[in-house]
A and B are shown apart, each in its own frame.
Chain A
Amino acid sequence: MTTFLVYSLTAALLAGLGVHGLITRRHLLRQIMALNVIAGGVFLLLISTAYRNQGDFADPVPQAMVLTGIVVAISSTAFALALLRRIYVAQGQAQDEAQDEAQGQAQMDAQANDVSTPRDESTP
C-alpha cells in the first residue's frame, strides 16, 4: 500500500504544480507546458493504480489507458504548439501595422516576443 501511496502523492503533487503553473503563468508556451505537467501527474496516478492490489501481476487496463492518454496529450500539445507558432508569426507581422486594439493585442505581442527569445538562442 505504501508504494501506491508514494506514487499517488507524487501524482497529486505534479498535478497541483501544473494547475498552479497554468493559473499563474501568462505566457502561452508555459501554459502548454503546465498542462503537460498536469498530464504527467494524471498518467502517474493511472500507472500507480495498476499496482494497487499488489497481486502477482499488474492490472493491464490502466496501462492501456495511459498509452491512449499519452497519444491524446501528444496530439493536443502538437496542435497547441502549431497554433502558438502561427500566432507568433502573425503577431510578428502585425507589429508593423498600427494596432488599434489596445490591451489584448499588446499583451499578445509581449508574449510573442517572449517566445522569440529562447528560439533565437537555440537556433545558432
Chain B
Amino acid sequence: MTLAAWMILVPFMGGVACLLLRGRAVAWVGLAASAATAWTCLPLLRHVWHSGPVRIDLGGWAAPLGIGLYLDGLGAMFLLLTAIVGLLVGVYALAFFGRGREYARMEPYFWPVWLVLWGGLNGVYLSVDVFNVYVLLEMVGLGAVGLTVLSGTNDSLVAGLRYLLATMFGSLIYLLGVALLYAQTGHLDIFLLADAVDGSLPVLVAFGLMTGGLLIKAALLPFHFWLPPAHAGAPAPVSAILSGMVTKASFFLLLRIWFVVFPDVTAPVAGQLLGVLGAAAVLWGSLQAVRQTRLKLLVAYSTVGQLGYLFFLFALLTPAGGEAWSEGWASMAWTGTVFHVFSHGLAKAALFMAAGCLVLAMGTDELAAMRDIAGRLPVVTFTLGVAGVSLMGLPPSVGFVAKWMLLKASLASGQWWWAVVIAMGGLLTAAYVFKILSFTFVPVGGHDANARPKAGPKAGRNVDQGANEHQGPKNSGVPELRPVPALMTLAALTLAALCVLFGFRAEEVIALLLRDMGLEPPFDAVLIGNIGGDRP
C-alpha cells in the first residue's frame, strides 16, 4: 500500500508545480492536484475498510531505524474529511480568486501554500513517529499562518504573527516533551513508545508537555486567543481551511498520544481537567459568538465553542484507566467525538464559505447590513441554515448523531454534568445561528422599528447595540448586491448537503472506527435503532 505515501507526495508535488507556474494555470494545476489527492484517498479508505489498519515502513527500513506510516480507521476518517473539504474549498477558491485584480494577486500564493499545508495534514494523520509529527505540525503551522496573512491587510498581519508565535510556542513545548520521552525510552515510534512508557517522572512530564503544546495549537479555551482574529481576518476559503481542518490536526495527535502512547499513564484528574476546559470553551465561545456583530467573527468564535465538545472524550474515557474501554459507552463516546470532528469540519467550512459569498455580495460582514439577504440570495441563506442545523445538532444531520452519542455516553458513564453542558451549548449554538438567520430575513427599506424586535428576543440587548452602532448612512438605503459566482455558492451548498447526508451513513463509520480500537460494538442494535438508521 504505497498509496499512503502518495497521499503526502501528491499535494507536495502539486504545491511545487504551482510555485513554478504563472497566471491562471496555477489555479487549474492546484485544483487538479487537489482532485488527485482526494482520488488517492478513496482506494486507501477502501483498503482500510476491507483489511484493517495499514502499516508501511518507508524505504524498507523497519521501525527503530526507519520512519513508518500507519493508517487506521481513525486516520482514514480524518483523511477523508480533509479530502472532501479540501476538494470543495479548491473549487470555491477557483471562483473566489478568479474574480478581480485584488484577489488575483493572492492566487499564486494561495495554491502552493495550501497544497503544502494539505500534504502536512495528511502526513500528520499518517505518521507514527513523534518527531516527524513535530516537523509536519510546524509545516502545517507555517502554511496556516502564510494563508492567514494572504490578504496583507494590517489586521490580518497582526493576527497572523500572533498565530505564528502561538503555534511556534506550542510546537516547541511539544518538542521538549518529545526530547524528554526520547531521553527516557530511546524510542520515537508511537507503538514502540507505547510498550516502553512507565510511570516515571520524566515520562509524566513529557506527557504533560506534549499535551500542553498540542492544546495551544488546538486552541482550547485559555489558549484560544489567537484563533478568532486569525480565522475571521483571512479570506473566505482560508477561513474554511483553518477552521475546518487545521484545528483538527492537533486534536488528532492528542487522541493518538492519550490513547495509543500513554493509555496507562493518563490520570483521571487530567482527563477531567481537559473536560472542564472543554466545557468552559463550549459555554464561553458560544456566548462570545452570540455577542458578535460581525458575521465572520461570530463564526470564528463558534469554532472556539465547538472545539470544546471534542475534549469531553478525555474526561469520559480516562476515569477507570483501561477498564473504561470495555464499557459500551466508551465506543459511543469515541465515535461521537469523531462524528463531531466530521460534522464541525463540514459545517464550519460551509458556514465560512457561505459567509464569504455574503461578504462578497454585500462588501461588508456586518450582521446589521444583511437586509433581506434571504430574499435576494436564497441559496446562500439556505446553506447558512443547513450548516447551522448541523452545528446545533438537529436531526438528521451528522451533528445530531455526534451530539446524541456524546449525550448518551456521558449519561451512561455516570458523568451527567457533561450532558448539561452539551445541552446548554446546543441552545447557545441555536441562539447564534438564529441570530444570523434573523438578520437575513429583515426586509429592505429601513424599517428599523420592525427590524429590531425580530432580532431582539433571540440575542438580547447586544444585538440592539450592535445594530445601533452600525446604522451609519451606508446601511440606511437598500444596499446593492454584487453578483456571486455560482461555483462558490454551489461548493458551499454541497458541503452543507454533505453534513446532512453523512448523518444517514453513520453505521459504516462506526464500524470503521471501532474495529481498529479493538472495540466490538455491543450496543449497535440499540444505538443504530435510536439514531434512525433503517437497518438493525
Q: Which residues of A contact B (CB under 8 A)?
A: 8, 15, 22, 28, 31-32, 35, 38-39, 41-42, 45-46, 48-49, 52, 59, 61-62, 65, 68-69, 72, 75-76, 79-80, 83-84, 86-87, 90-91, 94, 104, 108
In the complex, the answer to whether A52 meets B175 with C-beta atoms within 8 Å is no
**B contact residues around A45 at 8 Å (CB):** 176, 179-180, 183
In the complex, the answer to whether B176 meets A87 with C-beta atoms within 8 Å is no
In the complex, the answer to whether B165 meets A35 with C-beta atoms within 8 Å is yes
**A contact residues around B182 at 8 Å (CB):** 46, 49, 61-62, 65
Binary interface encoding of chain B residues 149-178 relative to chain A, with 1 for a CB under 8 A from any of its CBs, else 0: 100101001101100110011011001100
In the complex, the answer to whether B172 meets A65 with C-beta atoms within 8 Å is no
In the complex, the answer to whether B169 meets A79 with C-beta atoms within 8 Å is no
Question: Are A80 and B154 CB-contacts (below 8 A) given A45-B176, A69-B175?
Answer: no
In the complex, the answer to whether A42 meets B157 with C-beta atoms within 8 Å is no
Instruction: Give the contacts of B115-169 with A (CB-CB under 8 A).
Output: 131, 134-135, 138, 141-142, 145-146, 149, 152, 154, 157-158, 160-161, 164-165, 168-169
**A contact residues around B145 at 8 Å (CB):** 79, 83
Instruction: Identify A108's interface contact among B146, B158, B169, CB under 8 A.
Output: B158
Closest beta carbon of chain B to A105's beta carbon, Å:
8
In the complex, the answer to whether A38 meets B172 with C-beta atoms within 8 Å is yes
Overall SS of chain A's interface: helix
In the complex, the answer to whether B142 meets A91 with C-beta atoms within 8 Å is no
Chain B residue with minimal CB distance to A71? B135
Question: Are A76 and B179 CB-contacts (below 8 A) given A87-B154, A90-B154?
Answer: no
Question: Are A49 and B161 CB-contacts (below 8 A) given A35-B168, A39-B172, A61-B188?
Answer: no
Chain A residue with minimal CB distance to B146? A79
Q: Among the interface residues A48, A68, A72, A84, which one has the most CB atoms of the partner chain B within 10 A? A: A72
**B contact residues around A87 at 8 Å (CB):** 154, 157-158, 161
Chain A residue with minimal CB distance to B157? A87
In the complex, the answer to whether B131 meets A76 with C-beta atoms within 8 Å is no
**B contact residues around A91 at 8 Å (CB):** 154
Chain A residue with minimal CB distance to B152? A86
In the complex, the answer to whether A32 meets B176 with C-beta atoms within 8 Å is no
**A contact residues around B160 at 8 Å (CB):** 83
